[in-house]
Amino acid sequence: MKEQIKITTIWWWNWQSNLLDWLNSYFWDDIKISSIVSMSDDWRTTWVLMKAFNDKLNIHLPPPWDVRRCLFSLSKSKYKDLFKMYFEQEITLDWDIKDFSIKDILLSLDSSNDFIEYISREKKDFLDFVIPLDIKIKWHKFWNILMASLFYNYDQNYDKMLDFLHNMMEVWWKIIPVTIKRAYIKAILWNWDVIEKQDNISNVVNYNSWISDLRLMDCSIDAKHTKQVHEAIVESNYLIIWPWDLYTSIISNFIIWGVKDSVNDSISKIIYIWNSTNKWWETTWLTQLDFLNKIELFLWKKVDYFVLNNSKPSLSDDEKEVFKNDISIKWGDYLFLSDIEREELSRRWVNVLETNLLWDNKSYKYDKKKIVETLSKIIFNK
């Protein structure tokens, strides 16, 4: 049996889960993946649940949002589609969380008995788990409630909870939280203002100066990477850094204690797949080269491969309006590599791959086939 190429991906949420899904579909037999997931998420119902755990149970609940998407993407279960359908579903029952077991919630979502029997084939007791919280269950996603319940009932043992989920969903590659400590972040602006929390930095965006630095908040200064993170990074052949938001999605992982040291202990080649656009305020005025410089500054290591999109779709006036108001762009615009930047990257021995990466019917998102073909050129010389 040939030796598999070890790849570690690092990012958060939807884009990383898409990348994993593509790699899972195309390269399953040739690679072994460890996916490091950001733990700085603090928005929407995730934050409501985390805050309730902290205020009412005096327990830190690591955010479940990003982990679940990655697990879906790597599942080899015949019920993969049902996992996505049921576990991503929002609960509409206007009752307290403490009044529902896991099985009660599943049945309320009209899940089949066959599906319930399948997910409980190893341990049926988890179906009876409840969380003693007197907050409303309405509008929470079932997956977040499931992870929170497993975490609470497994004595706050995150590894045990994650092992259970890997087995239940038949995920043979590893999803690894960058830390299980509190990992709240703050942005230091050029005018010395400080914006705290990921949601305020990335989504609220009610500040009037661009970002100079990203740090851990005082309550999170002991956020250290896990042993699994270190092992995944130092043993990998390639480290893939995936877009989108520069500070809140990517650099938020690098400021966790120990991550930079592990990267520098590794001989892995670093692949940085860059965004097709910038984002108002979070990356206002940054050029393509600026993005790369920021990554290397926070990573303390040179990027080996810089993958960039070089195309721009023709958009109607209505499509342009949708584009500029997209939450991932926030009135930003497409960016392309200049000749001067290209010369500088050549001088620094950075391998630059410029190609059309866009999904034809989308304004800025990437096409999985094009990404896979580009990665094949780097990893398999195809």
Tens-place pLDDT, residues 97-145: 999 999 998 888 877 788 888 888 878 899 999 999 999 988 898 989 9
- Report the percentage of the chain scoring pLDDT > 90: 49
- Report pLDDT for 2: 65
87 shares its domain with 32 = no
Give the model's confidence band at 370: pLDDT under 50 very low, under 70 low, under 90 confident, else very high. Answer: confident
Whether pLDDT at 1 is above 60: no
Q: Angle, to 10 degrees, between the axis of helix 80-87 and the axis of helix 142-153?
A: 90
- Report pLDDT for 14: 56
Mean pLDDT of 152-172: 93
- Report pLDDT for 326: 78
**DSSP letter at 149?**
H
258 shares its domain with 363 = yes
244 shares its domain with 370 = yes
- Report pLDDT for 176: 93
Whether pLDDT at 332 is above 90: no
- Report the percentage of the chain scoring pLDDT > 70: 96
Mean pLDDT of 333-357: 94
Using DSSP's 3-state secondary structure scheme, residue 326 falls into: coil
Contact 175, 162 (CB under 8 A): yes
Mean pLDDT of 357-363: 78
How many CA atoms lie within 13 Å of 322's alpha carbon, on the beta-carbon side? 8
What's the rounded Cα separation, in Å, for the pair 269 and 52?
Answer: 41
What's the rounded Cα separation, in Å, for the pair 235 and 356?
Answer: 31
Using DSSP's 3-state secondary structure scheme, residue 10 falls into: strand
Q: How is the beta sheet containing 185-189 ordered, strand by strand?
A: 194-196, 185-189, 211-216
Looking up tokens 């500040």 gives: 207
CA distance between the termini of the chain:
21
232 shares its domain with 345 = yes
Whether pLDDT at 278 is above 80: yes
Within a domain: 183: no
239 shares its domain with 372 = yes
Within a domain: 193: no
Residue of higher predicted confidence among 76 and 293: 293
Q: Domain range spanning residue 95?
A: 77-170
Within a domain: 182: no
Please list the residues that pair with 174 across neighbouring strands: 34
**DSSP letter at 202?**
I
Looking up tokens 């790369």 gives: 292
Mean pLDDT of 244-249: 85
Within a domain: 188: no
- Summarize pLDDT for 280-316 with one digit per residue, the tens: 778 878 899 999 999 999 999 999 999 999 998 888 8
Give me the helices (H) in the chain, please: 13-27, 44-57, 65-74, 80-87, 102-108, 113-119, 142-153, 158-169, 198-199, 227-235, 252-254, 259-265, 288-299, 317-324, 339-347, 368-379
Closest CA to 293 of 359, 246, 363: 246
Contact 13, 249 (CB under 8 A): yes
Looking up tokens 């984002």 gives: 279
Contacts of residue 174, Cβ cutoff 8 Å, sequence gap at least 6: 33, 34, 35, 166, 228, 232
- Report pLDDT for 228: 94
241 shares its domain with 310 = yes
Mean pLDDT of 340-360: 94
The count of structural domains within the chain is 2
Contacts of residue 203, Cβ cutoff 8 Å, sequence gap at least 6: 43, 327
**CATH classification at residue 269:** 3.40.50.10680
Arithmetic mean of pLDDT over the chain:
88
33 shares its domain with 114 = no
Contact 40, 57 (CB under 8 A): no
Using DSSP's 3-state secondary structure scheme, residue 214 falls into: strand
Within a domain: 70: no
CA-CA distances (angstroms) from residue 279 to 43, 197, 205, 206, 286?
A: 19, 17, 10, 14, 9
Residue of higher predicted confidence among 58 and 65: 58
Within a domain: 68: no
Within a domain: 158: yes
> Which of 39-43, 210-214, 272-276, 296-300 is predicted least confidently?
39-43
- Report pLDDT for 17: 63
